Amino acid sequence: MGGGSIMQGLRLGLLVLLCCLALCPAPVQGDKVLVMPVDRSHWLSMKLLVKELAARGHEMIVLVPDTSILIQGSDYYRTETFRVPYSKAQLDENVNKLKDAAFLKAPDIMYIFVNVQHLVHFTTMQMKGCEGLLYDEPLMQRLRGERFQMMLTDPFLPCGSIIAESFNIPAVYFSRGIPCGLDEKLTDFMQEFVDESGEGGFVVFTLGSMISQMPEEKAKQFFDAFSRIPQRVVWRYTGVVPENAPDNVRLMKWLPQNDLLGHPKVKAFITHGGTHGIYEGICNSVPMVMLPLFGDQSDNVHRMTVRGVGEVLTLFDITSDKLVEALNKVINDKRSDIMLT
């Protein structure tokens, strides 16, 4: 065998070896990560990252207030619960004031001040919860003894930053909005409903993790609008249902938002304009009808409308006619398709 053939054989062997090494899973040395989330929609985004880090061998410990709504125990992370100086009833009361302001009051200058006032009160409650954690000396000492390698924290509150500084560990700030979660299979019950939606397809409707009910008269406007469109509707709603509710509407206590938005027959997304939903709508190229409630949602929906990917309505003066018109526009307007691709 000539020298050239030998070298060629060596190169081929080296290439095969490198390919084998690339295909073999590398040994994983997992870190111990302390997680400081913010409840509700903030957690829905962060939870995806926590789950993926755990799947890659990292030990995840999540700090949870004892009034938590959505942060529950899990097989892929451990929780440490801390006490806060307010009850779930007090937290719900503050959230309800925000919701009532969106449904029942006109969006004028005074509304803006009232909305900010409610948000300040809500943030103040969260800060008190932060103090409850930081002044829980037995818990803090126990956490310090676990020797975490890093802190994953939501920048909405300073608790995580303070703990990271105290423990002398780096902090990673999670900005909400992982564009798309990993797709999961729909339940047979839901799969059948959307698969059989025909050429009209279907619409996804949810106002986020905080709102699954609305005043009965408002809800009637939505039911009436949905009875007048050819699409089926999957709606996260637990409120009063009229006797003449249309057959094309499927009501859910909870819905797999990202998986529905990724379905090939989805035509539109009715959303409150939260960061989580906006990113999933963009990622799945679904045009949106947006109904902002409070917080950063008005800013989010403005950014979408100026880019031509949605229509904005207000819950205060919504009518079935306005909703039907907006849905028809985003479903049939090819400009939305261009802007989302």
Is pLDDT larger for residue 123 or for residue 216?
216
Q: Which CATH architecture has domain 188-340?
A: 3-Layer(aba) Sandwich (3.40)
Q: What mean pLDDT is reported for the chain? A: 83
Q: Tell me: the pLDDT tens digits for 5-35?
A: 444 544 554 455 445 444 544 444 678 999 9
What does pTM read for this prediction?
A: 0.71
Q: Which CATH architecture has domain 32-173?
A: 3-Layer(aba) Sandwich (3.40)
For the chain, domain boundaries:
32-173, 188-340
pLDDT at 141: 96
Check whether 36 has a pLDDT greater than 90. Answer: yes
**Which band of pLDDT confidence, cut at 50, 70 and 90, is reported for residue 67?**
confident
pLDDT at 178: 61
Using H for helix, E for strand and C for coil, what is the string for the chain?
CCHHHHHHHHHHHHHHHHHHHHHCCCCCCCCEEEEECCCCHHHHHHHHHHHHHHHCCCEEEEEEECCCCCCCCCCCCEEEEECCCCCHHHHHHHHHHHHHHHHHCCCCHHHHHHHHHHHHHHHHHHHHHHHHHHCCHHHHHHHHHCCCCEEEECCCCCHHHHHHHHHCCCEEECCCCCCCCCCCCCCHHHHHHHHCCCCCCEEEEECCCCCCCCCHHHHHHHHHHHCCCCCEEEEECCCCCCCCCCCCEEEECCCCHHHHHCCCCEEEEEECCCHHHHHHHHHCCCCEEECCCCCCHHHHHHHHHCCCCEEECCCCCCCHHHHHHHHHHHHHCHHHHHHHC
Q: Tell me: the pLDDT tens digits for 157-212?
A: 889 999 999 999 999 998 765 656 656 778 888 999 999 999 999 999 999 877 77
pLDDT at 18: 45
Decide if 32-173 and 188-340 have a common fold: yes
Q: What percent of the chain has pLDDT over 90?
A: 46
Check whether 3 has a pLDDT greater than 50. Answer: no
Check whether 328 has a pLDDT greater than 50. Answer: yes
